[in-house]
Structure 1
Amino acid sequence: MTALADDLENTSDVLDADPTAVQTEAPSPDPAAYLRGYHATAAVRGVAEMTKGAGYVARRALRQSLSPGRNTRDAQRWWRHVLTRRRPQWHNEHEIVFETPIARLRDFSQGSTDDVVPALVLPPQAGHDSCIVDFQPRQSQMMVIREAGLTRAFTLDWVGATRETSGTTIEDYIAVVDRAVEHAGGRVNLIGDCQGGWLATIYAAIHPEKVNTLTLAGAPIDFHAGETPIGASSRVFTQRFGQLPYRAMVAAGGGNMPGSFVLGGFIAIRPDAEIAKHVDLLRNLDDPVAIGRYEAFEDWFKHTQDVPGTFYLWLVEHLFAGNELIHGDLVVGGERVDMRRISCPLFLLGGATDHITPPIQVFAAADHVSTPADQVTTRTAPGGHLGLFMGNQALRHEWPPLLAAVAEHSRP
């Protein structure tokens, strides 16, 4: 199962764009033109995949023309796998140690009392379940953390928004992170994946005394560095309409940003990947291992949860559009967030073909903190965005050396 296997078994990401689409220079002076070009290319790729898929289906039907019942059964099996989704699961041993309306704290320490600074992970929060950090029994960022010697390991688990939590603010999220840090002992190795990365950075700038090391993976710290479809879309919308399009989506979600809208946006960025994935499913209908991989990814990817509307609109205004974390203008809880207050060892991981958060957006963090240059580590994984958190390439080859270095800073 080529497209899916690339992400789950080898090096790249189901949603990776062509590497030429990942820019490391300044954003385009005309984001609308960039988007037109990007989506035209995406449409061509989508048509190419549809053509290849249709050709494969026709050849398969012809080969099985002497047994038409086989074609019908295969079609039924294929549709069943495509349409049947289950709630994604956490896989490795852990316990929930506290729960709030917006987050749970999961403890993967498994009884460890080792004298090591605990690790706290802040997972992505973009309309999907936080169990991406424990994706499969043998594909688990949490287990890689433990295997690196950081045996006291915790992760927050973001709860999908409801009407009651639609008014959740950035201050509420900082407070729940602080509660998790205090539960872990008051000082942690903070690890932020994607959106969890900028949240971790804000927390570290507000509470530098509580952060032993800071690790950021696929995290947009400088939202305006490089060019991406998401960044260009945000610039076009806000330049032309302000926050109106985002407010309309939140209103349509009853006060929250619907996870289904976020999912639709991700699929629209790479329609060819979505098509190829389902053609691969047909090719591998008789391979239970490939089917299992397909279902594991689709269960996680297609099971969405909403993001609190107040929090989402704040994010769009102050980070997507304003880029205030980098500019030094961001205010949280009445306090200016100054990244120069961060002086702990800094570890940065980017994906070479990440079209959601190109490495330049992650690595920019090093230019705005007070961490000495010899205590800043940058590493580029060969894959894309989701592969940084669940892909075997990153989990086996990129994370272990980073986490081993974190562990070196975490012992008496």
Structure 2
Amino acid sequence: MSGTLALNLSAQPLLESAAYALDSWQRGVLFLDTLRQRGNQLARELQKPAPTVLSFAGELVLDGRTLPRPVNYGLIRITPPAGTVIDERKRPFVVVDPRAGHGPGIGGFKPDSEIGVALRAGHPCYFIGFLPLPVPGQTIEDVMRAEQAFLEAVARAHPEADGRPVAIGNCQAGWQLAMAAATRPDLFGPLILAGAPLSYWAGEHGRNPMRYAGGLLGGTWLTALAGDLGHGLFDGAWLVQNFETLNPANTLWTKQYALYDRIDTEPARYLGFERWWTHHVLTNAGEMQDIVDKLFVGNRLATAELATREGERIDLRNITTPIVVFCSEGDNITPPPQALGWITDLYDSVDDIRAAGQTIVYMIHPNIGHLGIFVSGSIARREHEEFASNIDFIDVLPPGLYEAEILDGSGPGGHLLRFAAREIEELRAITRPDPEDDRKFATVRRVAEINLGLYRQFLQPLLRATVTAPMAEALRQLHPLRFQYSFFSDSNPAIAAVAPLAQAVAAHRRPVPDTNPWRQAEHAASAWIEAGLMLAGALRDHVQENLFHAVYGQKLLQSLVGLGARDEAVRRRPGLEPGQQAFRAARIRELQGRIAEGGPRAAFLRLVAYIGLAERRADERSFAVLRALWHSHGGGDLAAFKALLREQFLMLRLDRDAALAALPAMLGDLPPEGIPAFAEALRQVATAAPLHPAAAERLAEVEARLALLGAAPLQPAS
């Protein structure tokens, strides 16, 4: 018996080795078959006239190709899933997908998406997607005008809605929506910019390598080259390749190994995501050239240097609706400095923001990646749910700069949304503006203009005379990102033969447990490979960053391109310009002249703002009580409520003593016996959330003032 046991123990390593060899071979066959399915999936998608990964049904409302300036975009009304109740009186949500190389649908890719969250909150929902091919001659300004037409159509369809449509712009769609809102602010309700870059030079040393790409490539002439090789079309696969090279460990190993490692459970999720990731769309060459010249390298949006073809300046300070910026420290495509840097570019202080009547809210997630911001899976669902359910609260926030905070364990739904007032100096600690970096990127802009001019003079005429449409299409199909999908598909007979073998393997699958020593060795080897690729990527980024600063930090090069004087401003700072200062002074004078105007409703909102300013925070509980009181006393619609609250807040910020001294005159139409009810309503709002000690002191002060007013005759309001 002991001999039999010894024989079994000696055979155990052989049995484990044989089992692992069979398992790894089977996983290899199933892995190859999954790649085959991925290629076939893409081939089927390309046969559709309007491919999308949108998981919700919808109806086309407006085709952008029928507009006076046609574009390949369309407006779709989302059909709510069964059991979802929509309140037509709630303001509609409009989700706009990014057109940055991929096809449309990522904003409604999952049930827990931006669209799904808005539908569950009872809002009518619309989606703006696009077709794979652009309309000839289409420009980014044409797209901007189309989005304005879409918002007009949504507003017309919901005349009873309590406010203008909420627009959500994901990544590239974010800056497009911001441009549209800056030139037609009357069309938009709150803007939610998710992972959207608006300030392209911004970033932090050692963390944001993508911003150096334009300088290291010599500017934007390569974009022109790609457009000419595409016979007037720019291939979005190049943009996707830029994203993939940011993380070589994931691109070259981790993503594919995760499929191989978990081949029995992973294919469905893998193929679902690849359905979107593999479908690369096209843009007009001129359209893409404008984007990289004026935005990516030129950085002209954040400094109000862009203008429409009619000469109208595109100034983000013209946006009158609240702007919500959702970004993440874990996003290496749109890091927080690029999502938020436009604020410190345009404004010198929070007082400038208030004078412009603008409300800006930002939230920074600690670790979610770029796609997770707007795919809204389990990680970001909480944030999108809070934005959707509290959009009216956001819409009535007084002008200023706020950071959104979500507290767990309290409030409706288990979370509590509140807003903390912030100063520009606190935001600068995040955006890290650096005059020396600005000078280097301004040098890149000049070098890019020179190189693009040389390319257009000497090389572009030759390529345009040589490259034909069939040649361009052949080059697109040979792009590495496209070729891998066509190679691993049924169009390749060698790969098509894998299908029956994979069926047989699946029928006789023999997986080994993770305790198998060879399986453990495989996992260890994978971890080493991943770590090595991550190290190589970090080393590459470090070298590129140092090279960028070494080249574009040279005073000789800066002088050669016309940036020699060290005290010369290399970019506009609109917040410091005389025109902005004059506007601020005029706004202050106008408010000072009306500080004693208004009746009891205005006085009530002024006192609510006065108590709330003590803590510099506001949360959704106080807003819910305040809005209920406003409606119960016939206060009018949300727009009137919002305008009056904002104005009272500004008057308090401007001259608190004068604003409080005016209260007796403002309450002149209220009979003395109405004062106790007025004071009780004020207490309801103030105590809806736990009171900060300073706010409690102000509430007591206000109640004492009101008690005195109730005991003495009031002067009639003028």
User: TM-score, with normalisation over the residues of structure 2?
Assistant: 0.45
Where does residue 175 of structure 2 map in the other structure?
A: 198
Measure, in 2, the Cα distance between the counterparts of 1:269 and 1:250: 23
- Cα distance, 1:272 vs structure 2: 1.3
1:158 aligns with 2:130: yes
1:94 matched to 2:94? The reply is: no
Kindly indicate whether the alpha-carbon contact (under 8 Å) linking 1:343 and 1:371 is maintained by their aligned counterparts in 2. no
**Is the 1:126–1:307 contact (alpha carbons within 8 Å) kept by the matching residues of 2?**
no
Given candidates 377, 381, 391, the residue that maps to 2:361 is: 377
Within the candidate set 351, 365, 368, 2:328 is matched to 351
* Residue 260 of structure 1: how far off its partner (Å): 1.8
Deviation for aligned residue 1:64: 3.7
Report if aligned partners of 2:101, 2:237 keep a CA contact under 8 Å in 1. Answer: yes
Identity of aligned residues (%): 25
1:105-148 CA distances to partner (integer Å, 9 max, x unpaired)? Answer: 11126495621222222211101112001112x23211112223
1:324 aligned partner: 300
Counterparts of 1:3-402 in structure 2 under 5 Å?
A: 63-65=19-21, 70=26, 73-74=29-30, 76-81=32-37, 83-86=39-42, 87=45, 88-101=52-65, 102-108=72-78, 110=80, 112=86, 114-136=88-110, 138-149=111-122, 151-162=123-134, 165-185=135-155, 187-226=164-203, 228-237=208-217, 240=218, 242-274=219-251, 275-287=253-265, 290-333=266-309, 334-367=311-344, 368=346, 372=354, 375-381=359-365, 382-402=367-387
State how far apart, in whole Å, the 2-side matches of 1:170 and 1:66 are. 55
Contact conserved, 1:85 with 1:302, CA < 8 A, in 2?
Answer: no
- The aligned amino acid for 2:63 is E
Q: In 2, are the aligned partners of 1:148 and 1:404 still within 8 Å (CA)?
A: yes
SS in 2 for 1:376: strand
TM-score, reference length from structure 1: 0.76
1:222-263 Cα offsets, whole Å, 9 max, x none, are: 1111053332111333xx3x4321100111222121022222
- The alignment status of 1:405 with 2:390, answered yes or no, reads yes
CA distance in 2, matches of 1:365, 1:189: 21
Question: What secondary structure sits across from 1:328 in the alignment?
Answer: coil
Secondary structure, aligned partner of 1:325: coil
Deviation at 1:271, TM superposition (A): 2.2
Deviations 1:26-45 (Å, cap 9, x if unpaired)?
xxxxxxxxxxxxxxxxxxxx
Query: Once structures 1 and 2 are overlaid, which stretch shifts more, 346-355 or 78-87?
Result: 78-87
Partner Cα separation in structure 1 for residue 100 and residue 258 of structure 2: 26
Residue type matched to 2:259 in 1?
L
Distance 1:355 1:214 in 2: 23
Give the 3 Å change call, closer, same or farther, for CA 61–81 of structure 1 in structure 2: farther
Superposition RMSD on alpha carbons, in Å?
2.7
Alpha-carbon separation, structure 1, partners of 2:379 and 2:263: 28
In the alignment, is the contact (CA less than 8 A) between 1:133 and 1:390 conserved in 2?
A: yes
Cα distance in structure 2, aligned partners of 1:331 and 1:374 = 21
AA matched with 2:284: P
Using the alignment, how far apart are the partners of 2:176 and 2:303 within structure 1?
A: 16
Partners of 2:35 and 2:97 in 1: CA distance: 32
| Contact 2:193/2:325, CA 8 A, preserved across alignment | yes
- Structure 1 residues not aligned, in runs of 5+: 1-59
Distance 1:347 1:249, change over 3 A: same
For 2:370 and 2:132, locate their aligned partners in 1 and report how far apart those are by CA, in whole Å: 22
Stretch deviating more after TM superposition (386-395 or 316-325): 386-395
Q: Bigger CA drift: 117-126 or 365-374?
A: 365-374
Amino acid at match of 1:402: F
1:374 to partner: Cα distance: 9.3
Superposed displacement of residue 160, structure 1: 2.1
The secondary structure found in structure 2 opposite 1:185 is helix
Check the 8 A contact 2:113/2:376 in 1, yes or no: no
Q: 1:344 to 1:66 in 2, by over 3 A?
A: closer
Q: Is the 8 A contact 2:31 2:263 kept in 1?
A: no
Aligned mates of 2:57, 2:210 — CA distance in 1: 36
What displacement does 1:172 show?
0.9
SS of residue paired to 2:21: coil
* Letter matched to residue 55 of structure 2: H
Q: Which has the larger radius of gyration?
A: 2
C-alpha offsets along residues 53-77 of structure 1, whole Å, 9 cap, x if unaligned? xxxxxxx986443689746644543
**RCO comparison, higher one (Cα < 8 Å, 6+):** 1
CA contact (8 A) 1:214 1:346 kept: yes
Name the SS of the counterpart of 1:212 in structure 2: coil
